[in-house]
A = this chain, B = another copy of it.
Amino acid sequence: MSEERNTELEAVAELAKRRGFFFQSSGAYGGVSGFFTYGPQGAALKRNLEDAWRDRFVTREGHMEISAPDVMPEPVFEASGHLDGFDDMIIECPECGESHRADHLVEDNSDVEDAEAIPIEEVQELIADLGLVCPACGTELAGEPVEEFNLMFETSIGPGSSQPGYLRPETAQGIFVEFPRLKEYARGQLPFGVAQIGNAYRNEISPRRALVRVREFTQAELEHFIDPEEDEPPIERVADVELPLYSAREQDKDDGELQQLTVEEALDEAVITSPWVAYYLGLATGWYERIGVDMSRFRYRQHLSGERAHYAADCWDAEAELGGDWIEITGFAYRSDYDLSKHGEYSGDDFTIFKQYDEPQTVERATVDPDMSVLGPEFGGAAADVREALQALAERDPDAFDADTVEVDVDGDTYTVDTDVANFSVEEVTQAGEHITPHVVEPSFGVGRLVYTVLTHAYGEDEVAGETRSYLSVPTELAPTFACVAPLVSNDADLVERAEDVLDRLRSAGFEVDYDESGSIGRRYRRQDEVGTPFCVTVDHETLEQEEYDAATVTLRDRDSTEQARVPVGDLVAILSELRAGETTFAELLSDPNVHRVA
């Protein structure tokens, strides 16, 4: 971690706490690691960020959005694999009792990079070989067992003979598990997408780095259900978008580099294999820019083959640089039919889509119709199983029935059946379509990490009028407060009255506006700069001098440049609307002949 970046994170953490973006929860009781509360500024910023996500990935793409519960029953996680496989490696200090992530200990104290992918016994050996000690108390950890620790929070649902429940470790399961119903809302037609913004929970062994590794967090996930054989993304919409790609191939090299490729080039050169994943990388790139991610501190990193879930064909993470480290802010995964197949298998419900052929298709189907009056007496209780085995054989290997007898295995025993008795035949069947299990493309965004990234990348310090100023240059769309209205001084009733009138006007016009009259005007500007308020409107004595109300001018100050313009009150709503919609910039405004720059 570079010192400068480190200082940046410390400044952001201090600002976040002091000005109400976020802070560790329950501080009065000493706090609990991994739980954060968003204060008034942070909650507003987070909400604006979620709205921007909804606009881009749900509304404009025509997808559905649902809201499912946080607590889900055990069978869901038996099927999803979380009950068995959602573990981290833990090692407990024999002296102080503190628990640590074994893989992180190894990574922090050696050149090993992806210790999570190493078998647990080897990690235990590495800890001994490296002579690692407890970071809390310094006790030797050699010989201590490394164990699997399931990261789901468990609870009990209902009284008495209660059933186990879990806080969902990802919002995605709330979508997958409702697929049988969701497909009805989509009228049984692929492709369709279902999104959810909601909380997820992971009982992290060592929460760390502010909002990066926490125990309760917000995800914005989109599950796009597609027919892998037919559906294609509208790639032309994003073909020319430039992607900063750090491919698995480059990561494996000693001198691996970031490649700047357009979506089209990345697909042509097979750097990205799935057009769906490429589509979403293209879509997301513009969105990261929109919400204020510094694209010079951003990259897409492909998962290494060992890092990928076995069912995932291609995975890329969007990563942002924070404090010198690359932090995953979004995962883009092609999850194949894994999730829906598992839930279909475990629940017995129908997780498929009936795919209608363009025209009904005639297919040959081999069937048997065994004479049970022969099979029954001959095989007794096994007769029904033998019939099933014969049908399976007919479908698998119809030629077998050319012989006089066929043999089938049932539970390890071999049964021989006369072909005559089997009544084998091949029928022509007309099928209108077939049942397919959709594949899933999943962009999964960590909302808290995005908030943290936006804050950190927006944070800046400069010098204004000989004093150091800290400011947040967050995009207008995300700013907790759009504008602040203030009288130049608070002890002049005329100024205050006029300022309150301007405030009412702006609120009536639908702007999110604050009012502030405490302290000197310079101090108020600093305060607004620190929470990222793009514009400040000040009513001063010159405002009162002008007789005609709408012609009276107020000063409008720009957060980023700290420049000020005098604009007529009557034009204020129109000017702010244009600034908010991005139809004009403050620099353009200053060059308007009707606007006077304030020296």
Contact = CB atoms under 8 A, between A and B. Distances in A.
Given A25-B178, A512-B59, A69 B159 contact: no
A27 B165 contact: no
Most chain B CB neighbours (cut-off 10 Å) among A18, A26, A46, A60: A26
A215 interface: yes
Given A67-B37, A92-B160, A205-B159, A187 B518 contact: yes
Contacts of A185: 19-20, 39-40
A273 interface: no
Contact of A156 (B39, B153, B351): B153
A203 interface: yes
Interface string A20-45: 10010111110011111111101110
Interface in A46-84: 46, 59-60, 64-73, 75-76
A135 interface: no
Contact of A28 (B23, B25, B180): B180
Interface in A109-160: 149, 153-160
A58 to B, nearest CB: 10
Contacts of A99: 158-161
A13 to B, nearest CB: 14
A27 B181 contact: yes
A97 interface: yes
- Please classify the interface of chain A as helix (H, G, I), strand (E, B), loop, or mixed, using the class held by over half of its residues: mixed
Contact of A203 (B153, B158, B203, B343): B158
B153 A71 contact: yes
A71 B216 contact: yes
Q: How many copies of the shown chain assemble into the complex?
A: 2
Given A28-B177, A29-B177, A71-B167, 20 more contacts: A20-B181, A25-B177, A26-B72, A28-B178, A28-B179, A28-B180, A29-B73, A33-B158, A42-B67, A43-B66, A43-B67, A59-B512, A70-B201, A90-B160, A99-B159, A153-B165, A155-B155, A156-B203, A157-B215, A199-B199
17 contacts: A17-B181, A19-B185, A25-B174, A26-B76, A27-B180, A28-B178, A32-B163, A35-B72, A38-B67, A39-B182, A42-B67, A43-B66, A44-B65, A70-B201, A71-B201, A153-B157, A154-B156
